[in-house]
Structures are given as C-alpha cells and as structure tokens.
Amino acid sequence: MTTAIAPVIPRSRVQRLYWTFADGCVIARGNLVHLARNPAAILNLLLYPIVMVLLFGFVLGSAMNVAGGGDYREFLMPGMFGQTMTLGVMTTMVIVTNDAARGVTDRFRSMPISRAGVVLGRAVADMVNSVLELAVLLLCGLAVGWSWHRGLGNALTALGLLLLLRFALIWVGIYLGLILTPESAAAAWMPLMPLTMLANTFVSPELMPGWMGALSEWNPLSATVAACRELFGNPGWGGDSWAAAHALPLAVAWPVALTLVFLPLSARRYRRLAR
Amino acid sequence: MRRMDSFAVVAEGVRKRLGATQALDGLDLTVPEGTVCGLLGPNGAGKTTAVRVLTTLLRADAGRALVAGFDVADRPAEVRYRIGLAGQNPTVDEILTGRENLEMWGRLYHLGRATARRRAGELLDRFGLAGDADKRVKHYSGGMRRRLDLAAAFVLAPRVLFLDEPTTGLDPRNRNEVWQAVRDLAASGSTVLMTTQYLFEADQLAHQIAVIDSGRVIADGSPDELKSMIGGDQIDLVVRDAADLAEAARVLAAAAGAEPGADPDARRLIAPVRDRIGALTEVVRELGERGVAVEDVALRRPTLDEVFLSLTGGKPEHDAGEQGAGKQAVGKRVAA
Ligand SMILES: Nc1ncnc2c1ncn2[C@@H]1O[C@H](COP(=O)(O)OP(=O)(O)OP(=O)(O)O)[C@@H](O)[C@H]1O
Ligand SMILES: [Mg+2]
C-alpha cells in the first residue's frame, strides 16, 4: 500500500532558489483559487470600486472644490487608487491572522518549505489581487470621465508607484498579521479607514485645518497620490510644502523605507513564533 | 550508554515555559525506531507542547531533543524532511477539494506533480475519502476533515509521525481506519508518536505508553507494564442494601487479596483484581451464598482518572475544572 515516497531535498543554492519559487507558486495558486471560488469576494472586488466612485464622485463630489481649480472626479481618481492600495493591507493582514489561528502557519513551519517561499506565495497572491482591483477602478474612472493626459509612459509609471506602495504594505500586513488575532485584524478597519482619508486622497490638505493639513501632507499615501496626479496630469498636484513639491521622490522613498523597516520586522516576528 | 541513533525520538530534560505555565518541566522520553508511542495525559498536561517542541514549532528553554537522529534546535530543516504532523485541530483548506488539498501538500513536500497526484489518490483511498475526493472540504463532516488532515501528515510516509489526539471527534468506524493507518505505517518501519487522553486507545495501538502530567513523564512502559503498575482490572460492585456493605467488602477482599475501596453513599465497592474472570465468578457465587443482594457488578478497566490517581499518589494536582473534580471523587472512593 505505502509506496516509497522520496522528496527532493535541495542541497545546492540553485536548487534552494528553485524550490523557493516552486513553493511560492503553489501557495500563490492556492490563494488565488480561494479568490476565484469566492463569489462574495469577486462581487466585492467589482462592486466596491463602483460604489465608491459613484459615492465620492457624484454624491460628495458635487459639493467638493479642488484647490487650484479643476474637475473633482479627475482629482478624485488618483486618491481612490491610492486608498484602494492602502486598504489592501487589510487583505494581507486578515489572511495572515487566519492562517496562524487555523494552524496553517504551523503546518507550513513543520514542513521543509523555505520561509521565503511562503512569503513569496503570499506576496504574489496579494499583488495579483491588487492588480485586479486597480484594473476595475481604472475602468470605473474612465467611465466617469477621468483620464490621463501626459502619455502612456507616465501613466504606467504612476500605476507602478501605486503597486510599489501595495508591495511595501505587504510587509506591514504580514507583521501586523503575526501580532494580531483574526478578530482584532478585522477591527483594524476602524483606524485604517480614517488614515487613508487623513491625506490628499479626497480633499486637498491646504483646505484642512493647519495641523491636520501638515499631517496629511506627510502621509505616505499622499506622496503616492500626489505623484500619480502629477504623472497622470490630473488637477490638484503641487503646492507650497516641501512634501508636495517632492511628491515623486517621496512616492519611491516611503515604500522603500516601509519595506526596509517591516520586512526584517516580520521576518523576526516569524522566527519568534517558536518562542 | 544506549546508542542514540536507534531511537526515533529522544528528549532529555526538555523544559518550556509558556506564559505563566511551566508547560514542560524536564520531559524525558525515548522512542525506539519503528514503534508506536502513546503520550497519555489529561488536559493541560503538556502533550501538545511536547509535540510542538519535537516538530520544531517551539524552541525548548532547556534540554535537548533529537528526532530521526537530528537535533530539533540545531537542524530543524533535516527534521522537517523526516516528520509528518497532524495537529490537534485540522488545518485543511476549506475552499479546495480533498484531492486538491493533498496534491498541494504533496507539492509543498517537493514531490513532483505526477507523484503528488498519485500519492493523493492513494491516501484518499486509504482514509476512505475516495468518494468525496472532489468535493470542497467545507462540505466535509468533522470526521472527514480530520481524516484528510491525517492524510496530509502521511504524504511523505514520514520516518516519524506526530499525531496530536488523532481520533478526537471520530466515530468508531473512522477511528478504526485511523488506527489501521497508524499500524500500517508502523509496520512499514515508521515511528509514530501520538497523544491521547484515552488509555484504551493507547492500549490498542502503542508499544509504549508514556504518561505525562504537569510537563513531566511520570510513568513509561509497555501497556502491560503500565497496567500491572496500576493494578489492572477492577471489580466494581453496587449492593442493594447499605447494611450489606461490610459483608460484601469481606467477600471482595478475599477474592481480590486487598482491601476494596468504598463509596458508602453510592453503596459501591471497588477492588483491583488480577485473575479477572476467576475473581468475578468467585465474588458473585459467594455473595449469592451469603444472601447479599447485588444491584450491579462489573469488571472494568481503570479509567484514566484512576491511572492518574494511582500514579500521582492520590493527591489531586489540578484543582480547577472537571478533571480535578473527577479525580477527587474517585480518590475518595478508592482511598476510603
Ligand atoms: N500560548 C500559551 N500561553 C500560555 N500558556 C499556555 C500556552 N499554550 C499552552 N499553555 C499552557 O501550557 C500547559 C500545557 O498545555 P498543552 O497544550 O501542552 O496541554 P495538552 O496536554 O496538550 O492539553 P489538551 O489535552 O487540553 O490538549 C497548559 O496548562 C496550558 O494552559
Ligand atoms: Mg493538546
């Protein structure tokens, strides 16, 4: 009955690298199958952007002014892109806490899978998810009259910056996911949502009270959104503050800094599971 | 000095503190290759913690542990290639089908695609899941989930298999399937370390039983050794009339060769016996001749409570929860 089963034990660096990728692919695939088989999640993926664009673009948008003038929906879309990328941290966090609570993380840890492979799988699945979200939102934007005005190259760079922010937030999500319980991770929505609004996403910081405006200027999300407005040629970019004037370099620096801090932190946290 | 490499599991003075609890308090255990070891203990004894240390999930504070010849602290990767683990709670993927689950675990154990598929098929057959292989796990019953989870631990036909309470929540037929799979694996040369709260289960499967309490092994031996240590089977007798208790106690003492325990309120007497059927027939005949009316008489194995009681010297160690209460109740009876 029992066939001899011989696992491949990687011995060389090249083999290890190969298996890291192979493991990552298997794990990412499993995660994406989850998405594909979850009608509620798919509906959410499609419906959420549509509802938000309609809500902010038309319901609130009719009363909104853009500092320096311009169409509010043109101003809004880069903010929505940035907010969606930021809220993606919830996806990462919730999955990581659930895996830990259900013992999936322990099963992985008792198996000869490289940790990098597990994380790679998580990252690939989350990025694919975010690319889909961004694509839906992009189409919604086009439908309500948003567009890019400075060429395809700049537009693609802007999308790259958005995904860079999402990538950095994977590490934040993994770190928090390893600390929090599933219940508290779901509740993280509460502080996170205002944080995505305490930025230039929906309102220009110049129009906010002084301290709030300053805080919003320096929100990492603001850097990405401002840079996107600049690259798409949408209204509302630029400004007097140093942060607003250097949106592009900041939109690279913030995600890099977040990654440099949270990648080692989450690796350490993972090792500490054995404590 | 015994040779370490003939042991699949060696633990020496393993200590682990979890929060305020000393979960492992100098655990010593050796399991020879190719045998089944039952780790028997009540809730909170440290069974899961022991399994977690041995499967590289937790790092011990002190002591040393070798699994399949490798130190779990220094060479965890080598250990992981040689073990299978089914934890106390199933960790199967609800959204995938049973077959997809096993294929995924197979791929993650670095079996090739074709091998992983074939192995998944074999395991589904073996664990009686072939008919439901292509259903999503969220439609499985609790027992089916647990069997799938166990199958995942069998993917590699591991050298050392760790099962944490593998039959909790299974019906008798499924429990037998799990037992058979464990026996097969042991027959093919693998070592199995399983935790259980049931003496009966350990008795059925294990070559060796280690009784664990408060993070320490308090008794270790073959099922027979263990049973003789705690007195083996018992006659459990309830008389109809409390006035007959003294008379019945004399009869029981003569047959058992020891003073029986008494619980006067329940009109109950308990005495350990060696010659099981002989003693029982003698007691029933004697009581009949003396005209003592018997309400109930049974020959039964000691319960886990009683095993513990006798091993821990009769003092209830945990006073919280039903475990402690149960122990105390039995303690009064046997010691009275
Ligand atoms: N993460 C933790 N933090 C603090 N204490 C813990 C933790 N995990 C376990 N313990 C404690 O350690 C002791 C041993 O727990 P363990 O899970 O090993 O027991 P067990 O024998 O497996 O019990 P059960 O039969 O209930 O599964 C218990 O007293 C438990 O309360
Ligand atoms: Mg346990």
pLDDT for residue B303: 66
The verdict on ipTM greater than 0.85 is no
CB of B174 within 6 A of ligand 1: the answer is no
Q: Which of B311, B318, B316, B317 is nearest to B329 (CA)?
A: B316
The verdict on a CB contact (< 8 Å) between B57 and A106 is: yes
Please indicate whether, in this complex, the C-beta atoms of A3 and B119 are within 8 angstroms of each other. yes
Distances (CA, A) of B188 to A9, B160, B194: 22, 12, 17
Using an 8 Å Cβ cutoff, are B46 and B29 in contact? no
Mean pLDDT per block of 10 residues along chain B (336 residues) reads 71 96 96 94 92 96 95 93 90 93 92 92 92 94 88 89 90 86 87 90 90 92 77 85 90 85 88 83 90 88 68 47 33 31
Q: Check CB contact under 8 Å for B58 and A274.
A: yes
In whole angstroms, give the CA distance from residue B99 to residue B117.
8
Per-residue pLDDT tens digits for A63-102: 777 777 788 899 999 999 999 999 999 999 999 999 999 8
Residue A171 tokens, joined: 């590490």
- Does any ligand 1 atom lie closer than 6 A to the CB of residue B88? yes
- A10 interfacial to chain B (CB closer than 8 Å): yes
Cβ of B23 below 6 Å from ligand 1: yes
Q: Do B93 and A30 touch (CB under 8 A)?
A: yes
Q: Which residues of B204-214 are buried (b: 16+ CB within 10 A; e: fewer)?
A: bbbbbbbbbbb
Pocket probe for ligand 1: among B15, B16, B17, B18, the residue whose CB has the most ligand atoms within 8 Å is B18
State the pLDDT at residue B230: 65
The pLDDT, as a whole number, for residue B310 is 72
- φ/ψ bin of A103: left (φ > 0), alpha (ψ from -120 to 50), beta (otherwise): left
Q: Do A1 and B108 touch (CB under 8 A)?
A: no
**pLDDT attached to residue A271:** 86
What's residue A217's pLDDT?
A: 85
CB atoms within 10 A of CB A3: 10
**What is the predicted pLDDT for the residue at A262?**
95
* Closest ligand to Cα B164: 2
Q: Are B159 and B190 in contact (CB under 8 A)?
A: yes
The four Cα atoms A185, A188, A189, A192 give a dihedral, to 10 degrees, of -140
Q: Closest partner residue to B83 among A3, A9, A110, by Cβ?
A: A110
Given a cut of 80, whether residue A57 has pLDDT beyond it is: yes
> Does ligand 1 come within 6 angstroms of the Cβ of B47?
yes
Distance B67 CA to ligand 1 centre (A): 22
Q: Which of A3, A5, A104 is the best mutation test for B, with the most CBs of B within 10 A?
A: A5
Instruction: Tell me what pLDDT residue B206 has.
Output: 93
The answer to whether residues B216 and B49 touch, using CB atoms and an 8 Å cutoff, is no
Where are the alpha helices (H) located in A37-114, listed in sequence order? 39-54, 72-101, 104-109
Q: Could you tell me which residues are beta bridge partners of residue B261? A: B270
Distance CA A179, CA A30 (A): 24
- Of the CA atoms within 13 Å of residue A30, those in its CB half-sphere come to 29
The model's pLDDT over A126-163, given as tens digits with 9 standing for 90+, comes to 999 999 999 999 999 999 999 999 999 999 999 999 99
Classify burial at A39, counting beta carbons within 10 Å of its beta carbon; exposed 0-12, middle 13-18, buried 19 or more.
exposed
B18 in ligand 1 pocket by Cβ < 6 Å?
yes
Q: Say whether B88 sits in a helix, a strand or coil.
A: coil
What is the phi-psi region of residue B296: left when phi exceeds 0, alpha when psi lies from -120 to 50, beta otherwise?
beta
Residues of B in contact with A3 (CB under 8 A): 118-119, 122, 157
Above pLDDT 70, what percent of chain A?
A: 96
Residue B134 to residue B126: CA distance in whole angstroms: 16
The residue whose CA is least distant from atom 6 of ligand 1 is: B18
Q: B112: closest CA among A118, A18, A93, A219? A: A18
Name the residue with the closest Cα to ligand 1, atom 12.
Answer: B23
Q: A8 alpha carbon to ligand 1 midpoint, in Å?
A: 35
Task: Check pocket membership of B148 for ligand 1, CB cut-off 6 A.
Answer: no
Residue A65's pLDDT is 73
